[in-house]
Amino acid sequence: MSYNLERVHGLNPTNWYQPENELTDLARQLFFKSNPDETTQHFLDKSAELSDNYFWQTIRNLGVMFLSSIYSKTDINGITGFGNMFLFSENQMAKLLDIDRSNWSPVGKKVLDLGAGNGDITRHLEAFYSDIYATELSSRMRKRLSSKGYKVLDALTWDQTDIQFDLITAFNLLDRHYSPQKLLNDLWRVSSRSKCRVIISLVLPVNHYVEFNPNGKSTRPDQFLKVQGKTYADHVHYMITNEFEPAKFRVVKWTRLPYLCEGDMNHSAYYLPDAMFLLEPIIANEETNTTSSTQNTLPTEDINKTEL
């Protein structure tokens, strides 16, 4: 079935699901191609309707203008319900996780979504996990998560929980986290204890920006992700070899998805190129049998340390 993604003004979906640059052998071997579906189209069509609603957009602009002097952008979205996001559908997630939905029961299964925001993306996990846990630093967003029935854990001490999870996710959090290395270490420790997989997604090329920093007001992380090059394909490769493998994760597969946001009077929706990685923690007794899966095949360049 084909989808008319082009109907959303200002967006070209040509490379939403396929990298525009040539991948390294490693990245190509691990690549899993996703495809658009009805849920993606529905989000875009609904966003287009909101964009064309002059009254709604006027109220939105006035509300943001008034609240921006008091609250952060994330808190404003939590208060107003603006800025809803879309990353994946239930069917797309099922294919990534190799879930046969005809034989799958969510009963008793637990997922933890880190940095869950308002829960718009998290809710697509409800079909697979009956118990949804979440973390979020924004107090306004935490209220929204609780209102949806999610169990909210402390964003700074979640790694100390003794809950056994079936999946841990960090959607578009790593490049927004005040300490990416700490996050990766915590993810490995909790996932290895739970013996579960991890999903990490982030917009590429990497562009760090920290909105909530418990260590101060800096918008920079304490350490930049060790990516090289300037393209999407470059950063996919180096996320695998310089970040996930050293953090003791095996990359099972990865896919490219459009990270979509509701638009405004100028555009029906906004798009960023996202990479979603399915990871497995390498447990101690497995490490002796595991060697690095690649050699760096891209030209050596200075580590990219871009920021907004």
pLDDT tens sequence across 195-239: 999 999 999 999 999 988 888 888 999 999 999 999 999 999 999
Q: What is the pLDDT of residue 11?
A: 65
CA angle 84, 66, 265 (to 5 degrees): 50
Q: Where are the alpha helices (DSSP H) in 106-202?
A: 139-147, 180-194
- Lowest mean per-residue pLDDT among 138-152, 271-285, 293-307: 293-307
Rounded mean pLDDT of 170-199?
97
Domains, the chain, in order of start with CATH, read 5-287 (3.40.50.150)
* pLDDT for the residue 14: 81
Predicted confidence (pLDDT) at residue 245 exceeds the cutoff of 80: yes
pLDDT of residue 261: 85
Residue 66 tokens, joined: 């008034």
Can you give the pTM of this predicted structure? Answer: 0.84
State the chain's mean pLDDT as an integer: 85
**Peptide bond connecting 205 to the previous residue in cis, omega within 30 degrees of 0:** yes
- Residue pair 201/277 in contact (Cβ under 8 Å)? The answer is yes
The DSSP secondary-structure symbol of 80 reads H
Q: pLDDT grade, residue 289 (50/70/90)?
A: low
The enclosing H or E element of 236 equals helix 232-239
How far, in Å, CA of 235 to CA of 288, rounded? 27
**Average pLDDT score over residue span 243-265:** 92
pLDDT tens per residue across span 72-97 = 555 544 445 555 789 999 999 999 99
Share of the chain above pLDDT 90, in %: 64
What is the enclosing helix (H) or strand (E) of 28?
helix 25-30
CA distance 87 to 36: 11
What are the beta bridge partners of residue 203?
Answer: 274
Return d(Cα 236, Cα 132) in angstroms, integer. 29
